Amino acid sequence: MHKCYYSSLAILNVFKDYFHANNVIHVYGTRSYDRLHLYTVNTSFGLKCIKFKGCLLWNSLPRSITDINSHVVFKKKLVRKHVDMIVFHYLYVV
Which is higher by pLDDT, 35 or 32?
35
Q: Average pLDDT for residues 68-73, to the nearest whole number?
A: 92
Q: Which long-range contacts (CB under 8 A, 24 or more apart) does 42-50 make?
A: 50/18
CA 2 vs CA 35, 60, 80: distances in Å = 12, 13, 16
Question: What is the distance between the alpha carbons of residues 27 and 19, in angstroms, rounded to a whole number?
Answer: 17
Q: Domain extents for the chain? A: 1-60, 63-94
pLDDT in tens, 80-90: 988 888 887 78
**pTM listed for this prediction:** 0.74
